[in-house]
Amino acid sequence: MKKVITYGTYDLLHYGHIRLLERAKELGDYLIVGVTADDFDKARGKINVQQSLSERIEAVRKTGIADEIIAEEYEGQKIDDIIKYNVDIFTVGTDWVGYFDYLKEYCEVVYLPRTEGVSSSEIREKKRNLNLGIVGNSPFLHKVINEGQYVNGLCISGMYTDNRSRFEKKVTNLVDSYEDLLSVSDAIYVHAMPAQHYELTKKAILAGKHVLCESPIALKKAECEELFELAAEHGVQLIEALKTAYSLAFHRLLLMVKGGKIGDIISVDAVCTSLKDYEELERKEWGSLWNSMAGWGPTALLPIFQLLGTEYTSCELTGRYIDDDHTFDIFAKAAFGFPKALASMKVGNGVKSEGELIISGTKGYIYVPAPWWKTDYFEIRYENPADNKRYFYQLEGEGIRNELVAFNKCVEFGKPDYYITRNVSVAIAQVMEMFEDKDKVRII
Ligand code: CTP
């Protein structure tokens, strides 16, 4: 019996796939189809696959062409499979010519002509085109515009900024007013100074636009709640843009902790800092910089509120400021008490420390090395080091790409609870508000 094997993602199964499978089957007597698992696909850059692995396997099964279906989960698996299943022929479409010649050592390799005029990417692109307008002035937005190109179904419709000179060289679709931006967009990405987020987000929601707003969404609890109410009334999504929340490693880490891998959680301790040019700070150029609490606070608060909830019983705040009026904090600390746990966050903008995340439990702890907010790696550590486990997940495009894909999906299918919930966004805004009230802050 001649065994044939072929691999693919088979997202939104189309006739190009079916023709490939039919011809693959004709090469032998028994066809094995490897369907690429989500994580592995992400590592290869296909990050906007619309269907889950089980849906894609089911679609291939329904064609009735495959004799056996397997999941492809790791790099190098093809060699393992060819040996394990005693495969005679490996085949894929001509879009891969030459790429799999290394398998000739193990079996015959056949490249079948690809069907012209159809691909999963094109179908995804056509399925929905979300016109995303960008508002703000941070140089970070260059990255967002660049990453937006990799997300199927998303198109950067324009940008409005009050710092035109920073963007006009590279951004071709700058518009003259925020109203103009709203008129050409279905959704808005807000990344202005924190104090502007509330107004910009509100205007967008009132115009019926979905909003992806950089953290913090608002600097007051009531304002944040109001925005979520407004979004619900207008039937649009309001999502907090906090890259870490959308990274695969961070998501898996949360699942492992909630699944009891380290027992009961006793303490969550997060540190996020970045060093700034001190002279620049002292020249009072901090008017255009994010203070430590607004810049890093939401990120450091994220694992605390996502793991321990938002019902803390105490919160002690400390701030260190660059100016006598206590306008710009270069360092802030928050210590939380929960009924059965503790948490702390330490943030700095102009102060440097080890940016790690440690989650302590009754059975072990999780250690995420610096910079933990760009998590692609973490360890679960136990009393006996031999039991320790390391986990690695590829992070694409600093996490911006995943965030845009997640937003795109939320607009299409609704927001799943495992992203930042309204409660967490509101709790973050509340900490911002408390920190603004200098009576509530111990000033050092
Ligand atoms: N294929 C084909 N003809 C097409 C599309 C795909 O013969 N028009 C083949 C590919 O060469 C591959 C298999 O079908 O052997 C699975 O391809 P996959 O990557 O899942 O599909 P694409 O439509 O190419 O997906 P994408 O657009 O995301 O790259």
Q: Are residues 220 and 287 in the same domain?
A: no
Q: Does the beta carbon of 93 sit less than 6 angstroms from any atom of ligand 1?
A: yes
For the Cβ of 46 lying below 6 angstroms from any atom of ligand 1, the answer is yes
Give the residue, 277 or 296, on which the prediction is more confident: 296
The region of weakest confidence among 97-106, 270-279, 383-392 is 270-279
Q: Is there a single domain that holds both residue 266 and residue 312? A: yes
For residue 92, give the ligand 1 atom closest to its CA: 15
Q: Which residue, of 213, 241, 269, is where some domain finishes?
A: 241
Residue after which a domain boundary falls, among 198, 222, 241? 241
Is the shortest distance between the CB of 125 and ligand 1 below 6 Å?
no
Q: Verify that 379 and 256 share a domain, yes or no.
A: yes
The CATH code of the domain that includes 422 is 3.30.360.10
**Averaged over 299-304, what is the pLDDT?**
98
State in Å: Cα 71 to ligand 1 middle. Answer: 16
Do residues 76 and 151 both lie within one domain?
no
pLDDT > 70? residue 50 = yes
Whether ligand 1 lies within 6 angstroms of the CB of 120 is answered as: yes
pLDDT value at 378 more than 90: yes
Are residues 10 and 108 both part of a single domain?
yes
What number is the average pLDDT over the span 91-97? 94
Q: Averaged over 292-308, what is the pLDDT?
A: 97
- Count of structural domains, the chain: 3
Same domain, yes or no: 210 and 289: no
Per-residue pLDDT at 48: 72
Ligand 1 pocket, 10 CB below 6 A?
Answer: yes
Q: How far is the CA of 293 from the centre of ligand 1 (A)?
A: 47
Among protein residues, the one with the nearest Cα to ligand 1's atom 14 is: 17
175-184 pLDDT, tens digit each: 999 999 999 9
Q: Which atom of ligand 1 is nearest to the CA of 49?
A: 28
Assess whether 399 and 415 both reside in one domain.
yes
Query: Is the pLDDT confidence value at 330 over 80?
Result: yes
Ligand 1: distance of its center to the CA of 119 in Å? 6
**pLDDT computed for residue 325 by the predictor:** 85
Do 322 and 434 lie in a common domain?
Answer: yes
95 Cβ closer than 6 Å to some ligand 1 atom: yes
Q: What is the pLDDT of residue 279?
A: 72
Better-predicted residue by pLDDT, 65 or 286: 65
Asked whether residue 211 falls in the same domain as residue 292, the answer is no
> In the structure, what pLDDT confidence band is assigned to residue 49 with cuts at 50, 70 and 90?
confident
**Long-range contacts for 175-183 (Cβ within 8 Å, ≥24 apart)?**
175/133, 178/135, 178/203, 181/133, 181/134, 181/135, 181/157, 182/133, 182/207, 182/209
- Does ligand 1 come within 6 angstroms of the Cβ of 91? no
pLDDT band at 45 (very low <50, low <70, confident <90, very high): low
Do both 69 and 147 map to the same domain?
no
Distance 21 CA to ligand 1 centre (A): 10
Q: Are residues 96 and 208 in the same domain?
A: no
Whether residue 288 is predicted with pLDDT greater than 80 in this model: the reply is no
What is residue 37's predicted lDDT score, i.e. its pLDDT?
86
**Residue 118 beta carbon below 6 angstroms from any ligand 1 atom:** yes
Are 252 and 178 in a shared domain? no
Averaged confidence pLDDT in the chain: 91
pLDDT tens readout for residues 109-136: 999 999 998 888 888 777 668 999 999 9
Residue of the nearest CA to atom 25 in ligand 1? 120
Range of the domain at 424: 245-443
| Alpha carbon nearest to ligand 1 atom 9, residue | 93
Tell me the CATH number at 150.
Answer: 3.40.50.720
CATH of the domain at 74: 3.40.50.620
Mean per-residue pLDDT, 35-43: 71
pTM: 0.82
Task: Please indicate whether residue 126, judged by its CB atom, sits closer than 6 Å to ligand 1.
Answer: no
pLDDT in tens, 186-223: 999 999 999 999 999 999 999 999 999 999 999 999 99
Which of 97, 121, 145 represents a domain boundary (last residue)?
121
Atom number of ligand 1 nearest to Cα 118 = 8
Measured in angstroms, how far is the CA atom of residue 72 from the centroid of ligand 1? Answer: 15
Q: In this predicted model, which residue has the larger pLDDT, 405 or 294?
A: 294
Compute the distance from residue 118 Cα to the ligand 1 centre, in Å.
Answer: 8
The response to whether residue 115 sits with its C-beta less than 6 Å from ligand 1 reads: yes
Residue ID of nearest Cα to ligand 1 atom 2: 114
Of residues 412 and 83, the one with the higher pLDDT is 83
Whether 248 has a pLDDT exceeding 80, the answer reads yes
Q: Flag whether pLDDT at 84 surpasses 60.
A: yes
Q: What percent of the chain has pLDDT over 90?
A: 72
Query: For residue range 341-360, what is the model confidence (pLDDT) as tens digits?
Result: 999 999 999 899 999 999 99
* Confidence (pLDDT) at 293: 96
Query: Which is higher by pLDDT, 271 or 408?
Result: 271
CA of 14 to the centre of ligand 1 (A): 9
Regarding the beta carbon of 97 and ligand 1, being less than 6 Å apart is answered no
